A and B are shown apart, each in its own frame.
Chain A
Amino acid sequence: MILWELLSYAAWIVSGLLLLWIVVDAINVSREFDEELLISSREGADELLEQIKQEEGVR
């Protein structure tokens, strides 16, 4: 049935476009922004624990 063949081709094309978009965007971001900035994240601290600490500090 031609519908399934068309769907298969459509799946390949859409997959290709999505992956291409991702790769192009990643290359653009890597060019546009400083590498030090991109890898600058640090592990987060939880607001709840900070809140508990603050509350204890108040007491």
Chain B
Amino acid sequence: MTTTSTTAENTQRISMLKVLNPFHVWALGVGIVLVGEFMGWNFSVAKGGAYGALIACWVIGLLYSCVAMIDSEVTSTVAAAGGQYTQAKHIIGPLMAFNVGLYLVMAYTMLEAADALIVGDLMSAVAAATGYEGLSPQPFVVLTIAFLAWLNYRGVFMTLTLNFVITLFAFLAIIALFVGTDPLNPGSVLKHSDLLTDLPYGWIGVVAALQFGMWYYLGIEGTCQAAEEVRSAGRAIPLGTIGGILTLLVAATLTWYISTGLMPWQYLGQATTPLYDAASIIGNPSLQVVLFIGTMFAAIASANGCINDAARAWFSMGRDRYMPTWFGAIHPHYRTPFRSIIFLIPIAVSFAFTGLLDQVITFSILSGLLGYTFMSINMIKFRKMWPLDVIKRGYIHPFHPIPALVLLALCSVVYFATFLGYGASLLSIMAFYIVASVWFVMRRYQFVKRGDQFTMPWPRPKGY
């Protein structure tokens, strides 16, 4: 068999293919996120008004900049699929790793379901616009998930190359819309002086807006899942991740600027597709088509990246026996975690068929938030246990420990913001992860081979 590698002991092993470059990493991170610019972020306007949404955009931008810097440093040394799960396994311990792995799988699978729902709803909207009311979105939801799962099954290079093309198109659609608003002549198309108001609900509204500010950036941390398949994790992950967060900061600010200059906050706060609405207001049919395709591509790119990441997180847990080892299999031809990809298909379809976009997204955001909280603690422990002179990093983030402390503080504020709007969901998700942790400790941990899971060629941690 030509597709397997051989170790020194002449034992055949299959490994994932190292074929990705920084552009694929960028496409994975930005691809998962960019749909949030096309819809969702604008719910922050309903809570905090236009200025409140801008504060949320930049404060949460700071949160995710910390996430991107911390992730880049740790992943440049942990070149393994599983991302933050693998980091937790090496740096904190098994229970944390199990929880982080579960956060990742739940966050990405739920986001994938929401993205597929968006594609289905867009198809229904097109049908309604052409005179066919009541088209069921379900066949298009299933087709989206089935096609992208098939693509992921067949290989990571093609999957993320496609993501690069459609993500770039979606990003350029935002740029085209910005150009279409004649930004050099403020007041001609964009009416900020008429539309911007004071904070409608005061500063508590701004705090409540923070939760929806996460839509601008949720998922950029997914770049870490590519660590085992990039040619050089030490170079590609930091380049792709930092490039990704810079792209998103630009896209988020442009999105806010365009939308708040064309729509009053009362309308914008409840719009379903604000950027498409902005193109409609400008009245340029070509821009409308570009924005419609951009919205569709952004949702597909997001679902595509989510399948990639959820499958790798689940696969890594299987490989370490945190889940049944059956899930830790790699396809001998395509070199993908094929069983994990298959296993997660019915789960994503089930979430999508509930039709509860709000709840599904909230569960995804909260799972992500729990993961970011872990990352701040993880970073402080990582630098303490393995200082800079002990392990070579592909990237060293500046001003440590300020980014980790800022991340922890901002996560705490967003928990409070989430509690204001979705207190019951927050408590339910906490209960879910506590029950899962009890199951892991009581039932599953006995199967974990503790000695085998520490794979990085690191020296003993300081103090041990």
> Within A22-45, which residues are at the interface with B (CB < 8 Å)?
22-23, 25-26, 29-30, 33, 35, 37-45
Are A22 and B150 in touch, CB under 8 angstroms?
Answer: yes
The 0/1 profile, CB within 8 Å of A marked 1, for residues 120-145 of chain B is 00000001001110011001101101
A25, A26, A35, A46: the one contacting B234 at CB < 8 Å is A46
A16, A19, A41, A46: the one contacting B14 at CB < 8 Å is A41
Give the interface of B toward A (CB within 8 A): 4, 11-16, 18, 76-77, 79-82, 86, 127, 130-132, 135-136, 139-140, 142-143, 145-147, 149-150, 153, 227-228, 231-235, 316, 318-319, 325-326, 328-333, 338-339, 341-342, 345, 392, 394, 455-457
> Within A43-59, which residues are at the interface with B (CB < 8 Å)?
43-49, 52-53
Write the chain B residue with the least CB distance to A23.
B342
Write the chain B residue with the least CB distance to A34.
B12
Are B153 and A22 in touch, CB under 8 angstroms?
Answer: yes
Are B16 and A41 in touch, CB under 8 angstroms?
Answer: yes
Interface size class of A (residues with CB under 8 A): 35 or more
Given A1-B132, A14-B143, A52-B392, check contact A42 B149 (CB 8 Å).
no
Are B329 and A39 in touch, CB under 8 angstroms?
Answer: yes
Are A43 and B331 in touch, CB under 8 angstroms?
Answer: no
Distance in angstroms from A24 CB to nearest chain B CB is 11
Give the interface of A toward B (CB within 8 A): 1, 3-4, 8-9, 11-12, 14-16, 18-19, 21-23, 25-26, 29-30, 33, 35, 37-49, 52-53
Q: Can you list 8 A-B contacts with CB-CB less than 8 angstroms, sorted by A residue number?
A: A15-B143, A19-B146, A33-B332, A43-B319, A44-B80, A44-B228, A45-B79, A46-B233
User: When chains A and B are docked, how far (Å) is the Cα of A35 from the Cα of B324?
Assistant: 13
Are B338 and A26 in touch, CB under 8 angstroms?
Answer: yes
Are A38 and B149 in touch, CB under 8 angstroms?
Answer: no
Are B12 and A44 in touch, CB under 8 angstroms?
Answer: no
Are A11 and B13 in touch, CB under 8 angstroms?
Answer: no
Write the chain A residue with the least CB distance to B335.
A41
